[in-house]
Amino acid sequence: MINKAVHMWGHWNWRYCIFDGMEEPWDQDVRIRSLHHAASHGYKTANTKPSRRGSFVVKSIPTWKPGPGQLLVKVKSAGLAPADWAIQALGILVEKYPAILGEDIAGTVEEVGEGVTRFKKGDRVREMYRFKECSIAGLYLNGQMVARDDPIAGFQQYTLAPEDIAAKIPDNITFDQAGTIPLAIAAFAVGLYHDGENVLGGGTCGLMPPCEEGGRGKYKGQPTIVFGGATIQLLRLSGLDPIITTASLKNAEYLKTIGATHVLDRTLSPDSISAEIRKITQKRFKTISDAFGASETQIIGYELLAPGGALAAVRHVTIPLEKKVPEKV
């Protein structure tokens, strides 16, 4: 069973949501004056966590200097991932404090380090936080918790971004929109396309990425299910069809514009969802994505999998042991 533990559900806008120790919004004018003062004196502000389960505290810290292959990015908008609130509320994943959190950012390049060729000052970019010694496949590597690296965390005025995981933001995408992209797409990109080495949960769907030669449209005619309306565009690029998704019906038309062929009401009972899927196709499914991750959706998906199929889910495995079979992962 594949368990992708990270997924973007919303975004956290740095420009409007800096919090003090009481977790109340700062007065905007005071905040702007404080940021300008800090920047003019070679310092920047960072939303830090001084202790495990403690409140966020805004502090001034020296501005980072980009090293070889790095960008210094002025953060315009930062994404809020489930890992961020879980670290604060549950005290998990981070062992060394104080720490700066934040997984996804969008902003402008302020300075480039030695050897950087793809970016220049002023470029609009988005990038994703990368744990030390860890691929984007998870927060653990070979069963060991890995360290966070404050210079490349997102909840600060300026952050460092490795050139190899940064990307330019198209002109038609806002900073707020770009700030929701990195982990949202990476979570299922890993679940769908990673080779399975050193991933959280022990496996992936193992599809050929559409960006590789022969990958685009490779799985034409293979049906797929997406619980929760995510990762539709990736599946469309891979050629899977039909693409059946569950979501609020008010979003049905939009989801069809990005590749869904059928949208089922997410409030239907598990039996009704299964029945509606069977009306659409009698084929077994080799690839299923679960962006909701509840026990009910995991069980529905698992029961619909073909032998040798894989289910990529955003939460820990909840399928009862008596339902598991060796030929499904």
Question: What's the pLDDT tens digit per position in 242-295?
Answer: 999 999 999 999 999 999 999 999 999 999 999 999 999 999 899 999 888 788
Q: What is the pTM (predicted TM-score) of this model? A: 0.70
Is 50 strand, coil or helix?
Answer: coil
Asked if 234 and 214 count as a contact pair (C-beta separation under 8 A), the reply is: no
- Listed in order, strand segments (DSSP E) in the chain are 2-3, 10-12, 43-49, 57-62, 70-80, 99-100, 104-112, 124-128, 140-141, 144-145, 158-162, 166-168, 224-227, 243-247, 262-265, 285-290, 305-313
Q: Measure the CA–CA gap between 257 and 209, rounded to whole angstroms.
A: 22
Mean pLDDT of the chain: 77
Mean pLDDT of 48-75: 83
pLDDT of 149 higher than 70? no
Identify which of 273, 183, 299 has the alpha carbon closest to the alpha carbon of residue 230.
183
Residues of the chain with CATH 3.40.50.720: 205-323
Q: Does domain 8-190 have CATH number 3.90.180.10?
A: yes
Residues of the chain with CATH 3.90.180.10: 8-190
In one-letter notation, the amino acid at residue 127 is E
Q: Measure the CA–CA gap between 155 and 174, rounded to whole angstroms.
A: 18
Q: Judging by DSSP bridges, how do beta strands 104-112 and 224-227 pair with one another? A: unpaired
Q: What is the DSSP letter of 142?
A: T
Cβ-Cβ contacts under 8 Å for 199 (sequence gap 6 or more): 2, 135, 137, 138, 190
Q: Measure the CA–CA gap between 190 and 207, rounded to whole angstroms.
A: 10
pLDDT of 171 higher than 80? yes
Asked if 74 and 34 count as a contact pair (C-beta separation under 8 A), the reply is: no
Report phi then psi at 249, rounded to 5. -65, -20
Per mean pLDDT, which range of 56-70, 157-171, 206-220, 223-237 is the poorest? 56-70
**What does the pLDDT read at residue 118?**
96
Tens of pLDDT, residues 101-123 = 888 899 999 999 999 999 999 99
Mean pLDDT of 155-169: 91
The percentage of the chain sitting over the pLDDT mark of 90, rounded to a whole number, equals 40
Asked if 282 and 200 count as a contact pair (C-beta separation under 8 A), the reply is: no
In one-letter notation, the amino acid at residue 260 is A
More confident residue, 253 or 141: 253
More confident residue, 9 or 88: 88
Tens of pLDDT, residues 8-59 = 233 333 322 232 222 333 233 323 233 333 333 344 556 665 677 777 788 8
H-assigned helices in 115-251: 175-178, 182-193, 232-237
Is 176 strand, coil or helix?
Answer: helix
**What does the pLDDT read at residue 295?**
85
**Architecture of the domain defined by 205-323:** 3-Layer(aba) Sandwich (3.40)
Longest dimension (CA), the chain: 66
H helix or E strand, kind and range, residue 49: strand 43-49
Q: Measure the CA–CA gap between 247 and 292, rounded to whole angstroms.
A: 10
Radius of gyration of the chain (CA): 21
Residues present in the chain in total: 329
Per mean pLDDT, which range of 59-73, 89-103, 210-224 is the poorest? 89-103
